[in-house]
Amino acid sequence: MAMLKVVFTLDYEIHGNGEGSPYSLMVEPTQRLMDLFDNYGAKLTILADVSEILKFKEYFDEHGRDDYHYAEIIEQLRYALINGHDVQLHIHSSYTNSRLEKGKWCQDWSEYSLSELKYGRINEIIGVGKAFLEKELRVVKPDYKCFVFRAANWSMSPSLNICKALVENGIEIDTSVFKYGKRSGRVSFDYREAFSDTLPWPISVNNVCFRDPGGKLVEFPIYCENRQITSFLTPNRLFRVIQASFHKHKTYKLEGDSTTGNPSVKKGMLLKKVLTMILEKHAWKLDFNQCSGKQLVSGLKRIEKKYNNCEIDIPVVLIGHSKLFTKWNRKTLEPFLKYIARSPEKYMFASFGQFDLVNTYNCSLDN
């Protein structure tokens, strides 16, 4: 029987529109989360948004004031490693050229989708991020290696340039893809053909969804199911919607868009959107901020049943965000941690460094 290795990944960042205190959105909730995890022997993989953190460092170096808590961020990332957690690379590329205006980081929207940039620029941004983490974290863990990546907004399509740049920089694992996901906009992708909703696969550089036995980059997908909208109705998700409404991205009118300002057209579009939301299925990620405790346990049981006859250990990658870890979220997450901890014969808290990539990603099970 396969052991399910549960990997908790945390996107460590401020609000997507450049607002918010790094202390209240990153440092403080992450410390509470690590304290909770330590009670159960759970491991946290912090995916640190280096593009943001480097802007906080730039501000500190320029002004001599640590208003954006750069020192506390570095101290926390080092603390995480010392205490058995992990820190890996996350990149919101639009922050690389951002500027501070009235307490808000105004981003470079032309660089919002990392995968759509030219190869040289992608390679530069990833290289800077990896080098920064290794320089800062080898102070406390000399053998630390940055080898895992998550793209902001799941921007891994088009795949060729970003996959090549990740391999060039020694990144071995990507964990950006979730099966059934599809989006059009500032970032566009279609992951409905992804090789698996659970199992890792060696990536084809031409399309991150496809498996190439000779691929040098391995995708560890965020666990996802295709579910009706009712599965998304939890108090935690409601909090996420409310929070996002106060920190919206600036919107732009597209060239040639004749629907803006036309009430009848806008009403028809809204109705179509609502009907689509109700009638169609949607990508339901195993999100430890937004799922209920019961949903988390039920999801793990479904994975266990599906892979009951597998002979290799199965990674179960969950996603969360530091800014969403509330006191209420602790109440929904703790029963899940207890459930895992009391069944060590079936489940294990893990980080990406605990997987045999060769044997794991060559698994030939059908999706």
Domains of the chain in sequence order: 4-223+306-326+340-361 (3.20.20.370)
Low-confidence stretches of the chain (pLDDT < 50) are 252-259, 364-367
User: Is the dihedral angle over the CA atoms 166, 167, 172, 176 positive or is it negative?
Assistant: positive
Token pair belonging to 288: 């430890």
Average pLDDT, the chain: 90
pLDDT score of 367: 40
| Residue closest to 25 by CA, chosen among 53, 64, 55, 63 | 53
pTM over 0.75: yes
pLDDT score of 330: 96
pLDDT score of 366: 42
130 exposed, middle or buried (CB, 10 Å; 0-12, 13-18, 19+)? buried
pLDDT score of 230: 83
pLDDT score of 265: 52
User: Can you give the C-alpha Rg of the chain in angstroms?
Assistant: 20
